[in-house]
Chain A
């Protein structure tokens, strides 16, 4: 009996080993799967809601309408205004922050004690919650007692500058707040990139007496490009999803002058209880974000390949 039992037990032991080994990858990927479900379920729900006429205040009208909400957007001037405002905001903040961040990074390129101290100090706005920064700026731009209003009145002689209260200057105001908060982000990424660049090309250029402008455009900028692309991608994705600064300052006004995607979607859901429209807006924003990410990631991969090729 033991002669029979023994080989069976041996086979069992032998079989258990490979089975657990086969299961191990699945077990290890379980947390990732759970996270994936946690992301995909709300995403799928939002996509489903976007295909419905669904206003919580009018439950009797709820029903599947396919792409009607999306098609309605095509003829809705408010929607196109949101696209335009979001595009202007994103372009203005990303371009200006990139230029400023790059400029500051170049100035702080040398790793001296003073430069290191300055670069740390410049990070402080980044540590401020954007909504708090917006409220600070709201006070600073108050025409009655705001320090910036006072400076504009004294320095530029403009006593009636209304900042975020005027549709003509509201975009400028929120872009300034965004620049104040996020330029340090650009600066720190680009500074890290600059300081990690190999020194030989620059030394060779210096020995050859190459003009500074040539060094910048033909050596520094191309070598820094992967960092620029990465930093720009981060800021682009963040800017197009702007909410806190705009909402804290003007709630999307005056008029519809700052009605970016997230603010409109927020209002549609929380104030107007229009779940269908809010979800559709978020799906469009997701599609735009996805497309932009794709472009940038492909660009980044190309640059990386080129860099590897150069090695």
Chain B
């Protein structure tokens, strides 16, 4: 029987008050743990109370129940970030009284599904996962809602939009005019950053120690280190990078290093785009890149997607990768042969530069323009990209590259990633200049895929680098002209 006396709060409210105070920041983590133990609460009860307290805190200053009873449907890519969201979806349901269902697809077919759903103007999905590059097609096509009005006028007071890394906020906003700067004047916020990827080095410490090499400091150094691994490691090749005939070959390590060398994809001349892939900086970088793959890359590099790059590192088949840091992160756990042997480092490819210029991939959430429940969909998006859910994902799940600075300062998250040597440090060094370095334009996928195809020809020695890049620029200029962009 619960003991309740006049003027005294019920006993069951004491734990609740404690967790409310913790969420409000009036009680520290250690104090919470001490008092939780004193109250005799188990871990499960404590977690439940914490979730409930977070839900109450979220609900305090915003009417989260405005769309109670609404059913939302999401389109999701199979990814640890989506897994983290699904694991916490009950919190959203309890908070809003909405129901949520979703379709989830592997990445190989995911964007085909998105294109099919949106181009058919289907109202089936209210919100969906996307990359920022895809919004350069979806946005101007009229398939997405500009989220500026929601962020500025319909957000919960504690949404903290400014707490998202500045480069990522800008990278997901574009005016729709080819060549305009991302996040520039008149930019529409086509999606909200959710989780991202920095392109840096993930390397196998065991192999590095065995061969006696150091973490590469720049691209020429990387060529030497990778060559030595290929020669002396007794099986593993030196460096894993993507090589398939896809735009996805260009955006990770390649463009990060390319930018560091001063390379640009396009120049604006008289309001028109002009290919800049054959600039002297581009040629200097591309020659080194091609040689690196020829000397020390995987033999079947031209079929390599992120999957092969990652699994080779996890299986000890490669010494290092220059790709998404989270790919290296995931390979350091699970059933991977090399789990516990991997480490991470920031990478500035140009010997004359000390700061990395990591091009980023940003998993984001966007709202379908054909949704009939836009306000409700926004409540989902702001919850999923809000600090509380991000903290849940970062602490409890594999949401290991959150976009919010506050999450990176969280002691529990820091402790969790502390066992991944260099992971936090490479983030700290790289995040300030991390953004999308491509020029936004609607032919992004055609032209970047052509870029990858040209790279394949150069690596296969079908064409020398200088000639290959000149031909590529010529081909791209022809396409730009044909589309009225060049």
Contacts and interface: CB of A to CB of B under 8 A. Distances in A.
B456 A56 contact: no
A61 B141 contact: no
Given A160-B299, A163-B300, A253 B244 contact: yes
B453 A249 contact: no
Interface in B100-148: 111-112, 115, 119, 136-138, 140-142
Contacts of A250: 244-245, 302-303
Contacts of A270: 111-112, 115
B18 interface: no
Interface string B439-453: 000110110010011
A165 B483 contact: no
A251 B456 contact: no
A55 B119 contact: no
23 contacts: A55-B442, A56-B137, A56-B141, A57-B136, A57-B141, A60-B140, A141-B300, A143-B300, A164-B302, A165-B301, A166-B460, A250-B302, A251-B246, A253-B244, A253-B303, A254-B453, A254-B459, A255-B245, A255-B454, A255-B456, A271-B247, A271-B449, A273-B137
Contact of B460 (A59, A61, A168): A168
A60 B449 CA distance: 24
Given A144-B299, A144-B317, A253-B244, A56 B119 contact: yes
Interface residues of A, number: 36
Given A56-B119, A59-B141, A166-B302, A254 B449 contact: no
Which secondary structure dominates where chain A touches chain B? Answer: loop
Nearest to A160: B299
Contacts, number: 103
B99 to A, nearest CB: 31
Interface of B: 111-112, 115, 119, 136-138, 140-142, 243-247, 298-303, 317, 442-443, 445-446, 449, 452-454, 456-457, 459-460, 462, 475, 482-484
Contacts of A60: 140
B230 to A, nearest CB: 13
A141 B298 CA distance: 13
Of B136, B141, B317, which is in contact with the most chain A CB atoms at under 10 Å from its CB? B141
A254 B142 contact: no
Contact of A57 (B301, B302, B317, B442): B442
B140 A57 contact: yes
Given A164-B303, A272-B443, A273-B115, 20 more contacts: A56-B137, A57-B140, A57-B443, A60-B140, A61-B484, A165-B303, A166-B302, A168-B460, A249-B303, A250-B245, A250-B302, A250-B303, A251-B244, A254-B245, A254-B457, A255-B453, A270-B115, A271-B446, A273-B141, A274-B446
Interface in A164-179: 164-168
B445 A272 contact: yes
Interface of A: 55-61, 72, 78, 138, 141-144, 160, 162-168, 249-256, 267, 270-274
A165 B453 contact: no
A255 B462 contact: yes
A138 B452 CA distance: 20
Contacts of A163: 300
A152 to B, nearest CB: 12
Contacts of B449: 267, 271-272
B299 A162 contact: yes
A132 to B, nearest CB: 13
Given A254-B456, A254-B460, A165 B446 contact: no
A150 to B, nearest CB: 13
B456 A253 contact: yes
A144 to B, nearest CB: 6
A141 B303 CA distance: 11
Contact of B457 (A160, A167, A252, A273): A167
Given A138-B303, A142-B300, A168-B460, A72 B140 contact: no
A210 B475 CA distance: 62
Nearest to A59: B141
A72 B479 CA distance: 11
Nearest to A248: B108
B246 to A, nearest CB: 6
